[in-house]
Copies of this chain bind each other. A is one copy, B any other.
Amino acid sequence: MTRTVPPGWDHAPSATCGSVGEHALIHWISTTVGAPASKDVLIGIGDDAAVVVPRRNHVDVLTTDVQVDGVHFTRTLSSPADVGHRALHTNLSDIAAMGAEPRVALLSLGLPADLEAVWVAELVQGLVTSARAAHVHLIGGNISRSPVLFIDVTVSGAVKPRHVLRRGGARPGDELYVSGEVGAAAAGLAWLQHDAGHDDGRLGQPALPTEIEAAILRYRRPEARVALGMQIGRNKAASACMDTSDGLADALRQLAAASGVGVRVETATVPVSPAVALVAERLGADPQALTWSGGEDYELLFAVPRRARRRFLHASGRKGLPLVTRIGLCTKEPALVLVDGAGTETVLPGGFEHFGGTA
């Protein structure tokens, strides 16, 4: 993990959040963020609330998502900048799943008084860097004392009303597509957890298979599929969309439930990350669990009407966008069915549930 003291940070390495204090932290954040790059941000950090000009002929798209220490991340497995990046991209993924363009973010930090303050500075630096790359402006938030570290981010985006992608629009016969690869983040996390338990601390040393390296990066630095979601929304090329933040099984289940359809997925076509087999083989992990229930890939699942297939493939095939793969169909029957290469049918496994069980 790379860690670097952010530019302009002039507190002692041993300084804690408690010793630096709320006002000094906010002042540093405000300086780091700088003046809003967009003239649509009328008031950014530093007033009672932020003020943003809505985009003409667009609607506002709002979402919030939190990262809690020990639940969504572990400080030994992710750098502070990784955590800041992820706290942003979990939200960007929700915005992407609506076909919208993210615009502004609010950051609510809960900080233990004894947490090293530079950790927070690195987190904010990471978040701000990732936000800039996504053309998102950090416009406000708050800092609070908390017995447990958490990072709650709210993102507001914009989309034309007719380009909104919903969960509930899929119809029987629509084809199901997923972007990128499935199971990579879960495989990367499984590897890191195993490493942390068995290694001498030199995480990721020596030379890892490139598939594992890629999976670890996918876990630490997920990339919300913003450009893809916007392309598909603009081209009205999907009847429904949802992100796979809680796993592919969960996304299929929720999209089906919201749309009142069933799904029939051909397992052989699912673009499983090659890291899944490697991690399963080397660590004895369950490849099915990694594939179906492991979340945090932040890919997009689409339902595409047959008449929109060419439009969908054209729009999703644009340069710089992730590959999309057809994995099955929506059905009139409400069942959630997996079909393997031999034609054997099984029921879709559960997705991630936030209190440890499976849905």
Question: Could you list which residues of chain A lie within 8 angstroms of chain B, going by C-beta atoms?
Answer: 17-19, 21-23, 42-43, 46-54, 58-66, 68, 70-72, 93-95, 97-98, 100, 104, 106-108, 110, 113, 139-148, 150, 152, 154, 156-157, 159, 161, 164, 166-168, 241-243, 258, 353-357, 359
Contact = CB atoms under 8 A, between A and B. Distances in A.
A145 B51 CA distance: 31
Given A106-B154, A147-B148, 11 more contacts: A22-B354, A48-B63, A49-B97, A52-B59, A63-B140, A64-B106, A64-B142, A64-B154, A66-B110, A66-B146, A108-B108
Ordered nearest first, which 6 A-B pairs have the shortest CB separation? Answer: A54-B54, A49-B63, A48-B97, A22-B354, A48-B94, A18-B355
Given A108-B65, A144-B71, A148-B148, A98 B353 contact: no
Contacts of A70: 147
Contacts of A21: 353-355, 357, 359
A129 B104 CA distance: 29
Nearest to A158: B54
B59 A353 contact: no
Contacts of A72: 144
Given A17-B355, A60-B52, A142-B66, A47 B110 contact: no
B104 A243 contact: no
A156 B46 contact: no
A75 to B, nearest CB: 14
Given A150-B150, A156-B62, A68 B145 contact: yes
A67 to B, nearest CB: 9
A95 B140 CA distance: 13
A241 B48 CA distance: 9
A64 B66 CA distance: 13
A148 B146 CA distance: 8
A206 to B, nearest CB: 35
21 contacts: A43-B166, A47-B168, A48-B63, A48-B241, A49-B95, A51-B60, A51-B61, A51-B161, A52-B62, A54-B59, A60-B60, A60-B156, A64-B107, A65-B108, A66-B108, A68-B145, A72-B144, A108-B108, A108-B154, A148-B148, A154-B154
A64 B153 CA distance: 9
B68 A144 contact: yes
Contacts of A144: 66, 68, 71-72, 354
B150 A49 contact: no
Contact of A59 (B48, B51, B152, B359): B51
Contacts of A357: 21
A146 B71 contact: yes
A225 to B, nearest CB: 12
A100 B49 CA distance: 10
A62 B166 contact: no
